[in-house]
Amino acid sequence: MQQQPTLLIVTLGITIILQFFAAAVAVKLTKVTKFNLSWILISFGFIFMAVQRLAEFLPFVTNFQPQYFRLFYIWLGAIASLFFAVGVFLIQKIFNYMKQAEVRTRGQEKALLNAVIQAEERERRRFAAEIHDGLGPLLSTIKMSVSSLSNSETSAASQAVINNVNVAISEAFKSIQDISNNLSPHILTNFGVAKAIRNFCNKVNQSKGLKVKFKSNIVDMRYAPVLEVVIYRSVCELVNNSIKHSKAGLINIDLTADSERVVVNYKDDGVGFDATKLFVDGSDKGTGYYNMLSRVNSMKGKLEVKSIANKGVNVNIIIPISDGKQQ
């Protein structure tokens, strides 16, 4: 019979320690909850429960007689229950606060990503302008000088050298135009995403090594610059991936839009890859896809990649227009 009170004393002692520890943690978290009333009430509930357990423990180690304080026990239990009940009822305010904090965080992340995209495009435009306006006139001067040499009397060998230099300068001009246009395509800025993608596909088709078919129901519709940049850069990245890695012979790109969203459907008939490992943590593959995913997520869009070996690649990009309203 002596074992039962001893066990009860030990159990009550452990319970008291845990109750006071829980009360201390609850009080500490009050600051985190911005001193929300519901958490303050819950904290007081833990404190009253700890005091109640302590009062129940005292008769076992002192001459304290609980029958003289029965009303005190009742009040402790009632107050603790009241605090817990009201605190739990009001705790939805904490969840609302957490939800609002999450929304603010997502909004800040989106604003940051949009700022990064816009800063990147500004740097592309600046770099493209410097290349075009800096190297362009310099090459023009060189070409004029070489042309004046070609009109003078020179030997056949010298004339051949001059002709080769002219050809090299013309190729340099074309390279500068291509680099400048790839950095910041004026068609995208002036005429919109559909015409910019069509122009890009036409250039790829000129190589004769890969056929790109592009369809779109977007004619002259314009969208927010960030949305157009995200779509254009994503399509360019996908085409470049197919050129470098897929060994594809045909690419189909469908760009469609309605009143709510813009959708890109991309398919190639290349060798494909295991898409299940594309966004796995620790994987060193798919950097371009990660960049696309970040850009699309910044517009609250969705990126879906489907591919298996020898079955090509199928990519769907969906971006709501509510985050990229028409201009």
**Pair 194, 305 in one domain:** yes
Distance between CA 321 and CA 300 in Å, rounded? 10
The answer to whether 260 touches 321, Cβ cutoff 8 Å, is yes
**Which carries the bigger pLDDT value, residue 17 or residue 320?**
320
Angle at 99 between CA 93 and CA 102, to 5 degrees: 145
Point out the domain boundary residue: 74, 90, 106.
Answer: 90
Q: How many CB atoms lie within 10 A of CB 1?
A: 4
**Pair 327, 190 in one domain:** yes
| Interval 82-87 mean pLDDT | 77
The answer to whether 3 touches 10, Cβ cutoff 8 Å, is no
Q: Is residue 151 part of a domain?
A: no
Count of domains forming the chain: 2
DSSP code of 30?
Answer: T
Q: Is residue 110 part of a domain?
A: no
% of the chain residues with pLDDT over 70? 76
Residue type, 16: I
DSSP code of 186?
Answer: H
Q: Is residue 287 part of a domain?
A: yes
What are the phi and psi torsion angles at 171 (to 5°)?
Answer: -65, -35
% of the chain residues with pLDDT over 90? 14
Point out the domain boundary residue: 66, 90, 114.
Answer: 90
Distance between CA 283 and CA 265 in Å, rounded? 25
Per-residue pLDDT, 33 = 66
Point out the domain boundary residue: 63, 90, 117.
Answer: 90
**Pair 205, 309 in one domain:** yes
6: tokens are: 């001893």
Per-residue pLDDT, 321 = 87
pLDDT in tens, 227-260: 888 899 899 889 988 988 888 899 999 999 988 9
The CA–CA distances, whole Å, from 147 to 165, 172, 177, 208, 313 equal 10, 16, 21, 33, 50
**Which carries the bigger pLDDT value, residue 320 or residue 93?**
320
**In CATH, what number is assigned to the domain containing residue 295?**
3.30.565.10
Q: Report the 3 state secondary structure along 187-239.
A: HHHHHCHHHHHHHHHHHHHCCCCCEEEEEECCCCCCCCHHHHHHHHHHHHHHH
Q: In which band, very low, low, confident or very high, does the pLDDT at 98 lie, cut at 50, 70 and 90?
A: confident
28 is in which domain, residue-wise? Answer: 3-90
Q: In which band, very low, low, confident or very high, does the pLDDT at 302 lie, cut at 50, 70 and 90?
A: very high
81: tokens are: 């229950």
**Which carries the bigger pLDDT value, residue 219 or residue 281?**
219
Q: Is residue 239 part of a domain?
A: yes
Q: Which residues contact 229 (CB under 8 A, 6 or more apart)?
A: 117, 121, 188
